[in-house]
Amino acid sequence: MTDTTANPSSGPELSGEEKARKEAYFTASQGQLIWARFKKNRSAMIAGTVLLLLILTGIFAPFLSPYDPTIAGADKDYRNGAPQIPMFCDHNGCSMRPFLHGVERKRNLKTLRFETTINIEERRYLQFFVQGWEYKYAAFSFDLPGEKNEVRFNGFSFTTHLFGIDDGGIHLFGTDGTGKDIFSRTLHAVYTSLAVGTIGVVISFVLALLIGGVAGYFGGWIDSVLQMITDAIRTVPAIPLFMALAAFVPDEWSSETRFFFISCILGLIGWPTLARRVRTHLLSERNQEYVLAAQLCGSSSGHIIRRHLLPSFTSYIIVDLVISFPYMVLSETALSFIGLGLKEPVNSLGVMLQSVSEADVLLNYKWEFIPVIFFVALVMAFVFVGDGLRDAADPYSSTKK
Amino acid sequence: MKYTQFLAMRASMAVFTLLLVSFIVFSLMEMVPGDCAERYLAFKNTQGSQISVADIEAERVRLGLDKPFIQRWASWVGNVFIHGDFGDSCILRVPINQLLKDKFWISLGLCLTSLILAYAIAVPVGIVAATSKNAVLNNTLRFVSYLGLAMPNFLLALMIMLASTVFFGDSLTGLFSKEYRDAEWSWDRVMDFLSRAWLPIFILGWSATAFALQTVRALMSDEIGKLYVTAAAARGISGGKLLWRYPARHALAPIINSLGFDLNRIFNELPVVALILVLTDSGALLIEALARSNDQQLAGAIIFLLTASIVSLNFVTDVLLSILDPRIRSSVMG
Amino acid sequence: MSLLSVDNLTLQFQTDEGLVTAVDNVSFGVEAGEVLGLVGESGSGKSVTAKSIMKLNPENAVYGDESRIALTLPDGPVDVFSLKTSREMEIVRGGSVSMIFQEPMASFAPAITIGDQMVEQLVLHKKISKKEAKEWSIEMLARVGISDARRRFDQYAFQLSGGMRQRAMIAMALSTNPKLLIADEPTTALDVTIQAQVIDLMKDLVREYGMGIVFITHDLGVIAQTADKVAVMYLGKLVEYGAVRDVIRNPIHPYTQGLLKALPRLDDLDAPLIPVPGDIPSPLERPTGCVFHTRCPMAEPACAQQVPTRRNFGAGHSAACLVAGGGGV
């Protein structure tokens, strides 16, 4: 016999546990079903873990960074410095507490260049939970052009950092030409990318819901006109259009305002694709028979939208949002790289890489590329999670084996 | 007869889209603080000559800036559509057509070449990937195409430059060698161009290939699962014939449909790649116009031309589809 | 030797959840000029069984070692599982065996004309010129009752009506003059009146060509009209097998009885419909012993342990049940 994989629970009567399991399956919400299927996708789960770690890294960037990522935290004695990896052992033996060797920087009198020498006799020990530069959470200051439009909330200040070193500096990923700590900058850049992406996605989502919702709900000529406009905007290459919009930003705007404005523009450009999806979902769901059934039961249209239409496609919309996230991040990076997006002192990968295209940096200071790894990991994680979610939301989509 | 109607319909829709786009572009150009007269004269001011308010007003009237917005838009659109004339650049005081010259065509050539290359790679590889049961091959391709999506082109360009500086001592930037940069077109200049153009083409095509690969693979695995393929196999059709005449033939229409989006995607990469590789094409001109000198007229012209290329490509693919797909063909030709 | 004989067919699918049994030790035969009805709910393995005859199942299908499918053709016997290359497979695929699918719309390639698809098949199997193939195809289209066949030849599937598409499908299936026709729910997607036309057409054709037909359906009413023999399948098991009159008048297996009781009766409108209780279990959770015992009104404790073998209950009438017909345990 081939089918003797004995299953004790499949007697004529289902056991209580079995029944509960089946009941749970049949009454599971869309979200629960998607999550159940998503959990089975190993690569998406790995990507999800990486993503979660990166998000935490981004949120706790100030705590994890030993130095202020702006010019205020620059280490003037260690410019263009190589990464320093803490060690446990050297020729003088081992220690329980990781340490770095001391560095000295002297001008070479022949070449007139600064040269860094490592003093292997001197040990600097790594310390944890040290006090350092001050950072704020929930601080809010928004300064729109105009005099009275300044909103300010001072938030909560902290000075504790995860690690630091006795004396001198610790630069895990080295430093750039002005002595800024690349490790700290990378963590803050992750935060910036996440923030830009979130704001952009939220704005494009609101616009998409509004415009796609109107088109899908009213249908008819309103739908046709909106579709035509949406399609026309979709044909314009986004980055050049974005450049044109970003060129309006006056140079005197503060970096926070600029940051907010750029995120808004990203949101403005991202909506057409999303709006199309919202409209398609709405149109197809609206004609489903369960909606008719609800109408026949006398439900009001508000009730139908809230209780039937929205739940039926929120999960799909969430998937769409996750998928559109990396494109926001990529666009921001490209724009900042050109010099039209974010600017110092805001840390973003595009800003950080601006200097990298110089041959000198390319050849001699390769550690300036380390942030790229984080960035690619972030985008990849989003793409994998988005794909996994899409497959989970629509098991009949594409990736059948 | 109905077919000419269909063509006319599609063409007028394309023109309508272009009008809409021109409106957006023109509005953008107008939104820049300070109009053309002010900015030009302010620019002159820095050069030493004294400019009065009356001078600005006079310049405004001369340029027709005192007319209402819609009227100026109409005349701009009219000039563009009828004469192909984009007017003068505000800052440089040179006709935009002269600034763009062959630069736009070089850019378009680069982008179209990378589009063609992207599909030349993605179609066969995507089809093989969709039919193959080899998990290692499939996962590798999946990973490579995800990497293509996640690795921005400018990073790739930086990596290649790093490698070429290390190995060849030449950073491979620019579209022409020094001696040909401003020379007239000649055989040698063409050869020089080709010897350098492969790098921007490769970089521009990189993520387009990744996208196309995903599209082709998804479309193919969709088609392969359909009943008509099983039915054809049940009639004894097998091997290459079963693959190419059935699912591949039917996946072709949506693949053609995605061409326009991919050209759009390539255009998005153009400015950044131009900046890194120090190219002298319209992408670089766009950056120049926007980032350095705020030259909205030039920027608007470039954006409009790029969009017009996409709209034209969409029109061509629409016509191609109407010939290839009997369902569309019969609906338009009866 | 019968035209088709299926012996101990076992088929499992290799999936992420492990091996899933789709067909379990099924045996039956079809004579020339005979219609075998294969009945069962969806998921009973009837389509998979039929596809096995042409080796059309996906590549993750694993056939049992004992399984054997043999065809007796004028040129000699053919062992289907020994066919390896696609050239060899042409004998069963479209050559001596043709298949009609449930959805005529989906089984025609949408962007190739019906004529092209017919000619392609004829040229492949009959070694005739394209011109001859075209004439023959038009003749076949006309013979299945398609008016204006010459024009239809150059049309696409989406330009035909549902009934016409299925007729064209039949014309295509019969054009190579197969010895065996597999019809996978050929009438399910059609309107009732057109169903009757198509069934009549098929009956005529069997008589005319003298071929064997495997007729797959979930509708016992259709079977009663068309088939000579019937095989009832449940969860990959053949539970009852016999001449159509014997099985319908005197069903042995409780599942067959259930199916018959669930049929609406036009002669007694007040008769209650008695559904088979419960749902068909997931193939991932195949019950032990007799696969039907979880839904069987006659189930006894032994049914959960012991796998019933098929026992004879008259000439050519057999059923796999431990309890029914006074078998006892």
Please tell me the number of Cα atoms within 13 Å of B220 on its side-chain side: 24
Considering only CB atoms, A238 lies closest to which of B149, B222, B268, namely B268
Contact assignment for A236 to B303 by CB distance below 8 Å: yes
- Selected residues 40-79 of chain C with any CB under 8 Å from a CB in chain A: 64
pLDDT, one tens digit per residue, over C96-119 is: 899 988 888 888 888 889 999 999
From residue B74, alpha-carbon distances to B35, B70, B71, B167 in Å are: 18, 6, 5, 54
C287 near A CB under 8 A: yes
Res C233: pLDDT: 92
Which pLDDT band holds residue B53 (cuts at 50, 70, 90)? confident
The CA distance from C111 to the nearest CA of chain B, in Å, is 6
Picking from B282, B256, B279, the residue whose alpha carbon sits closest to that of residue B267 is B282
Q: A200: how many CB neighbours lie within 10 A of its CB?
A: 27
Those residues whose C-beta lies under 8 Å from the C-beta of residue C178, and which sit 6 or more positions away, are C94, C95, C96, C97, C98, C211
- Selected residues 190-229 of chain A with any CB under 8 Å from a CB in chain B: 228-229
User: What are phi and psi for residue C249, nearest 5 degrees?
Assistant: -80, -30
Which pLDDT band holds residue A6 (cuts at 50, 70, 90)? very low
Res A1: pLDDT: 37
In three-state secondary structure terms, C289 is coil
Q: In what order do the strands lie in the sheet with A114-137?
A: A87-90, A93-107, A114-137, A156-165
The CA distance from A31 to the nearest CA of chain C, in Å, is 23
Contact assignment for B237 to C121 by CB distance below 8 Å: yes
C-alpha A371/C-alpha A380 separation (Å) is 14
In three-state secondary structure terms, A123 is strand
Over residues A189-216, mean pLDDT: 86
pLDDT at B111 over 80: yes
In three-state secondary structure terms, C10 is strand
Res A9: pLDDT: 39
Q: Which of B228, B243, B252, B255 to mutate to test the interface with C (most CBs of C within 10 A)?
A: B228
Considering only CB atoms, B234 lies closest to which of C94, C112, C124, namely C94
Picking from C213, C215, C273, C223, the residue whose alpha carbon sits closest to that of residue C248 is C223
Picking from B121, B161, B114, B160, the residue whose alpha carbon sits closest to that of residue B144 is B121
Which 8-state DSSP code applies to residue A100?
E
Which pLDDT band holds residue B310 (cuts at 50, 70, 90)? very high
Contact assignment for A240 to B267 by CB distance below 8 Å: yes
User: What are phi and psi for residue A354, nearest 5 degrees?
Assistant: -55, -40
User: With contact defined as beta carbons under 8 Å apart, do A239 and A247 qualify?
Assistant: no
pLDDT, one tens digit per residue, over C173-228 is: 888 888 899 988 888 777 778 788 888 888 887 788 888 899 998 888 888 888 89
User: With contact defined as beta carbons under 8 Å apart, do A85 and A98 qualify?
Assistant: no
C114 near B CB under 8 A: no
For tokens 């499992």, name the residue. Answer: C12
pLDDT, one tens digit per residue, over A96-142 is: 777 777 777 666 666 666 667 777 777 777 777 777 777 777 666 66
Res A13: pLDDT: 47
Type of residue numbered C131? K
Cis-peptide, bond into residue A345, ω within 30° of zero: yes
- Selected residues 81-140 of chain C with any CB under 8 Å from a CB in chain A: none
Contact assignment for B237 to C108 by CB distance below 8 Å: no
C-alpha A136/C-alpha A158 separation (Å) is 6
DSSP A293-353: HHHHTT--HHHHIIIIIHHHHHHHHHHHHHHHHHHHHHHHHHHHHHTSS--TTS--HHHHH
Question: B216: buried, middle or exposed (CB in 10 Å: 19+, 13-18, 0-12)?
Answer: buried
pLDDT at C81 over 90: no
Assess: ipTM above 0.90. Answer: no
Question: How many whole angstroms from its chain centre is CA B95?
Answer: 23
User: With contact defined as beta carbons under 8 Å apart, do A165 and A127 qualify?
Assistant: yes
Contact assignment for A244 to B303 by CB distance below 8 Å: yes
A28 near B CB under 8 A: no
Which pLDDT band holds residue A19 (cuts at 50, 70, 90)? low
- Selected residues 305-364 of chain A with any CB under 8 Å from a CB in chain B: 326, 330, 333-334, 337-340, 353, 356-357, 359, 362-363
pLDDT, one tens digit per residue, over C1-59 is: 688 999 999 998 887 777 888 898 899 999 888 899 999 888 788 889 988 998 888 88
C14 near B CB under 8 A: no
A13 near C CB under 8 A: no
- Selected residues 15-34 of chain C with any CB under 8 Å from a CB in chain A: 18-19, 21, 24-25
Which secondary-structure segment (H or E) carries C39? strand C35-39
A400 near C CB under 8 A: no
Res B168: pLDDT: 67
Res C36: pLDDT: 92
Picking from B82, B84, B81, B86, the residue whose alpha carbon sits closest to that of residue B29 is B86
User: With contact defined as beta carbons under 8 Å apart, do C156 and C98 qualify?
Assistant: no
- Selected residues 227-266 of chain A with any CB under 8 Å from a CB in chain B: 228-229, 231-241, 243-248, 250
For chains A and C, count residue pairs whose Cβ atoms are closer than 8 Å: 32
From residue A235, alpha-carbon distances to A205, A323, B207, B259 in Å are: 19, 20, 18, 12
C109 near B CB under 8 A: yes
C-alpha A2/C-alpha A95 separation (Å) is 62
- Selected residues 235-294 of chain B with any CB under 8 Å from a CB in chain C: 235-239, 245-246, 249-250, 253
Which pLDDT band holds residue B112 (cuts at 50, 70, 90)? very high
Give helix B259-276 / helix A238-246 axis angle, nearest 10°.
50
Res A3: pLDDT: 41
* Six-digit token string for B19: 């009008």
Contact assignment for B250 to C109 by CB distance below 8 Å: yes
User: With contact defined as beta carbons under 8 Å apart, do B96 and B302 qualify?
Assistant: no
Over residues B196-201, mean pLDDT: 80
Contact assignment for A1 to C21 by CB distance below 8 Å: no
User: With contact defined as beta carbons under 8 Å apart, do A12 and C303 qualify?
Assistant: no
* Six-digit token string for A300: 């009001």
Q: Which residues of A touch C10 (CB under 8 A)?
A: 2
The nearest alpha carbon in chain A to B312 belongs to A235
Give helix B103-131 / helix B249-257 axis angle, nearest 10°.
150
pLDDT, one tens digit per residue, over B137-189 is: 877 887 787 777 777 777 787 777 777 777 766 655 666 666 666 666 677 77
Picking from C159, C161, C4, the residue whose alpha carbon sits closest to that of residue C80 is C4
Res A335: pLDDT: 82
Question: How many whole angstroms from its chain centre is CA C304?
Answer: 29
Over residues B80-99, mean pLDDT: 78
Q: Which residues of A touch C281 (CB under 8 A)?
A: 10
Those residues whose C-beta lies under 8 Å from the C-beta of residue C45, and which sit 6 or more positions away, are C11, C22, C23, C24, C26, C233, C235, C236, C237
Res A66: pLDDT: 80
Contact assignment for A337 to B154 by CB distance below 8 Å: yes
Contact assignment for B325 to C156 by CB distance below 8 Å: no
Q: Which residues of C touch B326 (CB under 8 A)?
A: 110-111, 113, 156, 158
A298 near C CB under 8 A: no
C-alpha A19/C-alpha A33 separation (Å) is 17
- Pick the residue with more confidence: C246 or A358? C246
Which 8-state DSSP code applies to residue C281?
P
Burial B31-46 (b: 16+ CB within 10 A, else e): ebeebbbbbbbeeeee
User: What are phi and psi for residue A3, nearest 5 degrees?
Assistant: -105, 40
Contact assignment for B227 to C106 by CB distance below 8 Å: yes
Q: Which residues of C touch B323 (CB under 8 A)?
A: none
Those residues whose C-beta lies under 8 Å from the C-beta of residue C318, and which sit 6 or more positions away, are C240, C241, C242, C310, C311, C312
pLDDT, one tens digit per residue, over A329-345 is: 888 888 888 777 777 77
The CA distance from A338 to the nearest CA of chain B, in Å, is 6
Which pLDDT band holds residue C325 (cuts at 50, 70, 90)? low
Which 8-state DSSP code applies to residue A14?
P
The nearest alpha carbon in chain C to B252 belongs to C111
Over residues B301-311, mean pLDDT: 89
Q: C195: how many CB neighbours lie within 10 A of its CB?
A: 18
Counting every residue, how long is chain C? 329
User: What are phi and psi for residue A356, nearest 5 degrees?
Assistant: -75, -20
The nearest alpha carbon in chain A to B264 belongs to A237
* Six-digit token string for C122: 């004829």
- The chains in contact with chain C, meaning 3 or more Cβ pairs closer than 8 Å, are A, B
Res A401: pLDDT: 31
A6 near C CB under 8 A: yes
Which pLDDT band holds residue B245 (cuts at 50, 70, 90)? confident
Res A10: pLDDT: 40
Contact assignment for A10 to C281 by CB distance below 8 Å: yes
Over residues A220-226, mean pLDDT: 84
Handedness of CA A385, A387, A389, A395 (dihedral sign): negative
Please tell me the number of Cα atoms within 13 Å of A223 on its side-chain side: 13
User: What are phi and psi for residue A131, nearest 5 degrees?
Assistant: -90, 140
Res C241: pLDDT: 92
Those residues whose C-beta lies under 8 Å from the C-beta of residue A110, and which sit 6 or more positions away, are none
Give helix B2-31 / helix B69-78 axis angle, nearest 10°.
130
Map chain B to HEC letters: CHHHHHHHHHHHHHHHHHHHHHHHHHHHHHHCCCCHHHHHHHHHHHCCCCCCHHHHHHHHHHHCCCCCHHHHHHHHHHHHHHHCCCCECCCCCCEHHHHHCCHHHHHHHHHHHHHHHHHHHHHHHHHHHHHCCCHHHHHHHHHHHHHHHHCCHHHHHHHHHHHHHHHCCCCCCCCCCHHHCCCCCCHHHHHHHHHHHHHHHHHHHHHHHHHHHHHHHHHHHHHHCCHHHHHHHHCCCCHHHHHHHHHHHHHHHHHHHCHHHHHHHHHHHHHHHHHHCCCCCHHHHHHHHHHHCCCHHHHHHHHHHHHHHHHHHHHHHHHHHHHHCHHHHHHHHC
| DSSP-derived pairing of the beta strands C180-184 and C97-100 | parallel
* Six-digit token string for A355: 């200097």
In chain B, the percentage of residues whose pLDDT exceeds 70 is 85
pLDDT at B256 over 80: yes
A130 near B CB under 8 A: no
pLDDT at A313 over 80: no
User: What residues pair up with A116 in beta bridges, in sequence order?
Assistant: A105
pLDDT at C230 over 90: yes
